Amino acid sequence: MAPPPLLRLDGVRLTFGGTPLLSGVELNVLPGDRIALVGRNGSGKSTLLKIAAGRVEPDGGEVFRKPAATVRYLAQEPDFGDAPSVEAYVAAGLGPADDPYRVTFCIEALGLRADARPQDLSGGEARRAALARVLAPEPDILLLDEPTNHLDLPTIEWLEGEVAGLRSAVVVISHDRRFLEKTTTATVWLDRGAVRRLDEGFGSFERWRDKVLEEEERDLQKLSAKIEREEHWLRYGVTARRTRNQRRLEALHTMRQERRDARRATGNVVMQAGETRESGKLVVEAEAVTKAYGERVLVKDFSTRILRGDRIGFVGPNGAGKTTLLKMLIGETEPDQGRVRRGTNLDLAFLDQKRAALRDGASVADNLTDGRGDQVMVNGELRHVVGYLKDFLFSPEQIRTPVGMLSGGERARLLLAKTLATPANFLVLDEPTNDLDMETLDLLEELVANYPGTVLLVSHDRDFLDRTVTSTIAPAGEGRWIEYAGGYSDMLIQRRTAASQEKAKREESPKAAPGAAGTKAAAAPTKLSFKQKFALDNLPKEIARLEKAIAKTETEMADPALFAKNPKRFDELAKALEKDRAALAKAEDEWLELEMLQAELGG
């Protein structure tokens, strides 16, 4: 027998501006649930989460929360109020029975300063502080709205482990496919005001969604054929106007309404990058460029050649120097040493993750045209702003809306519309996936993958990188950057392969003879110590063992009924998973440091 739900939404309805947003929505959250809430931008996902959290009252329906169950909600825009410090802000989220140590743990794990003023935090720091506040209490129900926005990859991977280890039931909205695949065991799809549930994680969602849509299309075709037959009867049947046939006529009107309703889904985003002349074959060539700020070296002796048609991804933790390296390559920042040469006929379009190109006080239309009338030039063709913005899911009523009133997803789509209307052959995208729904992400992926020019892409979205880039540039410590062929997953494979090859090479090489060489080695640190070499040889085995253990634990915890059947076993697995993930992160960091040291000594 299934346990009673912690949270239940039954027949929830909500209407905005005369248009139904939610129509009889049902949602059950059981203990141990890990639910991905998916749907297009504007479908009502965030609103549904706010109703679940008690932040918005529905027009109708029932919202039940188990008495005494604790609920924590992560909003897209955190409200710090008058909290004097990060520590005070996080601690304010604790309940009477919560462990105060979790405040310190979460703050340190997320790389925050406890005494910092929340109002002075950057976008990424603000997101981490808000995460610390909802994670520290370990609530019964955890509602997360875009938790990975503005986070770097190490923090996202830490968050994956933390969510997997919590006892809380979790409902999460995220555009990060990889994050959803690793953290969810059920999927709720909000589409045209109603929900469907799949009792499998997000990894199975897209295949299931496509099957549902195909079945809908077949049903719609059958309905259209039936309507056609009935219309033929209506036009040519001699008894069509008799009273005894009015019921048949009413049925025809009902079927027409059903077809209209079936086609009333949100429109599709239409994306096409502005075309311009072809650039020269060489786009950017960097030779031994170095950039430092004070004693901190962000880029050291980096060289690369970027050719027309290349799609380069930049990854790494926040503060590693991705933006600095990118700006040197496109000419916004000069290197301290080295040389950057750019090719001919370059027309650059730049999408900034800070949305600096948008003016909050100006309307949607004025932001698109810079206040120059109501038309925009796209691929050499003048288009009215209303028609062009419809391609990006903006309604005519929104055209005069100030940008400051738009949601995060709407601002992201407007910035994409503005960037893609710019004629360019060199596209620079800094975190373009933030706040986009998955359908829009799919189209952006297709656009980037088929873009005829050159693309430089900074992103923490591992799945997006895997689907779009031809090579990946990642930091290797102390200002060094290495370029790998392929996407993010390819980069990880190449790093592991390089480590294995280096290990095999060391094992095959003959032992150094004693004597002069030994004396010289002792006189100068030209090789790893015995302890370091032992660690370097054995860490790959330990990493493989931990990965296998983590995978086994995650498989067992993926059972949605485990928590209800055996909560003690669930707790044991959660603690073991947290311990193994921490050990894996430590082992990988140690291995990377030793590899870097080995390379330096060998060089």
Query: Residue 9: CB partners within 8 Å, gap ≥ 6?
Result: 25, 26, 27, 28, 48, 51, 52, 61, 62, 63, 64
Burial class (CB in 10 A: 0-12, 13-18, 19+), 309: middle
d(CA 436, CA 541): 39
Q: How far is the C-alpha of 450 from the C-alpha of 443, rounded, in Å?
A: 11
Centre a 10 Å sphere on the Cβ of residue 555 and count the other Cβ atoms it contains.
9
Angle of CA points 420, 423, 426, to nearest 5°: 85
CA 294 to each of CA 98, 297, 481: distance values in angstroms, whole numbers, following the listed order? 43, 8, 19
Q: Which residue positions form the known binding site?
A: 39-46, 316-323
In 3-state terms, the chain is what percent helix, strand and coil (to 5)? 45, 20, 35
Task: Count CA atoms within 13 Å of residue 588 on its CB side.
Answer: 16
List, edge to edge, every strand of the sheet that includes 454-458.
348-351, 426-430, 454-458, 311-314, 471-477, 480-485
Q: Choose among 169, 206, 189, 136: nearest CA to 69.
A: 169
> Which residues does the annotation place in the binding site for ATP?
39-46, 316-323
Residues in the chain: 603
Ramachandran angles phi, psi of 313, nearest 5°: -100, 140
321: Cβ contacts below 8 Å, ≥ 6 apart: 291, 298, 299, 475, 479, 481
- Confirm if 412 and 405 have CB atoms less than 8 A apart: no
Q: Which two tokens stand for residue 95?
A: 């309940």
| Distance in angstroms (rounded) separating the CA atoms of residues 436 and 144 | 16
Taking the C-alpha atoms of residue 318 and residue 323, their distance in angstroms, rounded to an integer, is: 9
Distance, CA of 513 to CA of 511 (rounded, Å) = 6
Of 93, 7, 95, nearest to 49 (Cα)? Answer: 7
